[in-house]
Amino acid sequence: MNKAELAGRIYGTPFWRVDLTGVWIVLAVLFFWLGLWAQANSAETKNFRGPDSEIVQLAEKLRAERSVYWAGVELPGNWFKPAQISWNPNGQASGATTFMVGEGEVYDFRIELIGPREEVLRDVLPHEVDHAVRLSWVRRPIARWVDEGSAQVAESQQSKARADQHARETAQHPIRWIDSMEYPDSQEILRMYSVGYSIVSYLIDSHGPERMLAFQADRRPPSEKLSEFYGTSASGLINQWRQSLDVANQDGQDSKMIQVETGLFCPPCIALKRDAGDGLFPGYRFGFSDAPLGSKVPKITYRGHIRYGYSGPAELKAWLATVEANPPKEGPVSQPYVRDGPEFDSILEDLKEVREALGPIRKDIEEFKEAGLIGKVKNLLELKAGVSELKEKVEPILKDVSSLREGLAQVDQETEEQVPWYWGLWAGLVGIVKRRYLNSGGLA
């Protein structure tokens, strides 16, 4: 046996001499069936490709409808490459649209759909196709609230009603994403969608969809172009939109609008704004305004009833329910304290006398510091006399203040926290006088 025969027995027949005809036949049949399966489980139109014929056909129809809505005409021609649609029927209804941007063009759209077929066809698919259509017209990324608010216009009436209700419930919460090209944090994103839809709808109702599309095509941030397109500023738009919600709610029934006056350095006011913005009072709407400087508690007005203070949602809801159980009255049920009047005039006059009496006492203190032993004894006697006189002037003021506080407590137990500036000044003055002169009977 030569070496060639020995190698053939050890290593077998070389691969290039093996007959592969059967293998190629099997592979050909396999690819044939895979092609049939793919064709049966996918569909394609001029502008969309996806796994479901109904979804793809509806997407093509929506592409034309949304373009006519925004621009008055269909998009010119077809996309260079059909948008790829994927669908996962499992999970909560949601979607996403991605795309590429280059040289003033947007292309390579990819649409991801998640959720049951009914919700996808009713809300998710129209929302995502609307994104792609507007992007094809404006050819640039869009501020998030404008983009998402516009896309929700394409959704069902049921979905838009939910967004509108949530926007009303959180309308008074600060809006900090007016120029943002990014999504806010998870706690704020739902509100950005609902408020964005509500504001976009307000602008469309007043100026039409074509101006909104032109607004999105402008490359400037929203706050810089609102004046040109809508004749207002960002803060002006927000105020107009909030007022429109109030007008739309006046349907002949009692309004659930709660007016709140809040102070600048007022922790209860801050807490109430936060809770109202977080939607802890469903069905109610809040109108916030600035209270007089120095206010320490919010002033809350609802259906003619007034209260002061805020200690939490449960307590305020109980008060609102009590108000609703009683018919509205012509005037306020309770009144805020009056910041002027004979009582206050009397206190101010007494304070003036105290201030005049303090002058000689200060002079006596300075002389006491510089005097010798005999002089100190003399000055000490004068100081005691001056302090006694001052004490006589202080006591009636304390009685007047106490009487006023008791009267205010009858209006509302929390009103006493909200006092004029001169009460605080007087409290500090009394504390100093008591600590230095009255309590010890002499100098500290």
SS3 content of the chain, % helix, strand, coil (to 5): 60, 10, 30
Contacts 24+ apart (CB under 8 A), 21-29: none
Q: What pLDDT was estimated at residue 358?
A: 67
**Amino acid at site 74:** E
pLDDT, greater one: 356 or 124: 124
The answer to whether the CB of 177 falls within 8 A of the CB of 148 is no
Band of the pLDDT at 260, cuts 50, 70, 90? confident
Q: What is the structure's pLDDT at 394? A: 65
98 versus 425: which is more confidently predicted? 98
Per-residue pLDDT band at 27 (split at 50, 70, 90):
low
pLDDT at 192: 93
Listed ranges 20-24, 141-145, 294-298; the one with the highest mean pLDDT:
141-145
pLDDT in tens, 190-236: 999 999 999 999 999 989 999 999 999 999 999 999 999 999 899 88
Task: Evaluate whether 347 touches 397 at the Cβ level (below 8 Å).
Answer: yes
pLDDT of residue 409: 47
Q: Which helix (H) or strand (E) holds 152?
A: helix 144-152
- Which residues touch 430 (CB under 8 Å, ≥6 apart)? 394, 397, 398
Closest residue by Cα to residue 155 from 115, 124, 189, 200 = 124
Distance CA 26, CA 293 (A): 87
Q: Which residue has the higher pLDDT, 248 or 271?
A: 271
Can you tell me which residue has the tokens 């206190």?
A: 347
Q: How far is Cα 269 from Cα 272, in angstroms, rounded to an integer?
A: 5
> Once rounded to an integer, what is the mean pLDDT over residues 6-24?
49
Mean pLDDT of the chain: 75
pLDDT band at 91 (very low <50, low <70, confident <90, very high): confident
Per-residue confidence (pLDDT) for residue 173, from 0 to 100: 86
Helices (H) and strands (E) in the chain, counts: 16, 9
pLDDT of residue 411: 41
Phi, psi angle pair for 94, to nearest 5°: -165, 175
Q: Which residues, 6 or more positions from 409, have their beta carbon under 8 angstroms from its beta carbon?
A: 415, 416
Name which of 78, 79, 75 is nearest 67 in CA terms.
75
What's the whole-model pTM score? 0.51
Model confidence at 330, pLDDT cuts 50, 70, 90, reads: very low
Residue 295: which of 260, 257, 341 has the closest Cα? 260
Tokens found for residue 332: 């306020």
CA trace torsion 329, 334, 337, 341 (10° rounding): 60
Q: Could you give the angle at which helices 144-152 and 125-138 cross, rounded to 10 degrees?
A: 130
How confident is residue 284, by pLDDT bands cut at 50, 70 and 90? Answer: confident
CA distance 201 to 207: 10
pLDDT in tens, 143-188: 999 999 999 999 998 888 888 888 888 888 888 899 999 998 877 8
Helix (H) or strand (E) holding 88: strand 83-88
d(CA 50, CA 88): 12
| pLDDT higher than threshold 60 for residue 382 | yes
The phi and psi torsions of 302 (rounded to 5 degrees) equal -145, 115
Percent of the chain predicted with pLDDT > 70: 62
Q: Which of 56-70, 232-246, 423-437 is the most confident on average?
A: 56-70
Structure tokens at 149: 């608010």
Q: Give me the residues paired with residue 110 across strands.
A: 84, 98
Q: How far apart are CA 123 and CA 46, in angstroms?
A: 22
Question: What are the phi and psi torsion angles at 172 (to 5°)?
Answer: -85, 0
Q: What is the pLDDT of residue 258?
A: 85
pLDDT at 323: 85
Average pLDDT over residues 303-315: 86
Helices 186-207 + 234-249 axis angle, to 10: 80
Lateral strand order in the sheet of 105-114: 43-44, 48-50, 83-88, 105-114, 94-102
- Note the pLDDT tens digit of each residue in 94-148: 999 998 888 778 889 999 999 999 999 999 999 999 999 999 999 989 999 999 9
- Among residues of the chain, what percentage have pLDDT more than 90? 32
Given a cut of 70, is residue 322 above it in pLDDT?
yes
More confident residue, 285 or 315: 315
Nearest partner of 168 among 248, 229, 82, 58, judged by Cα: 248
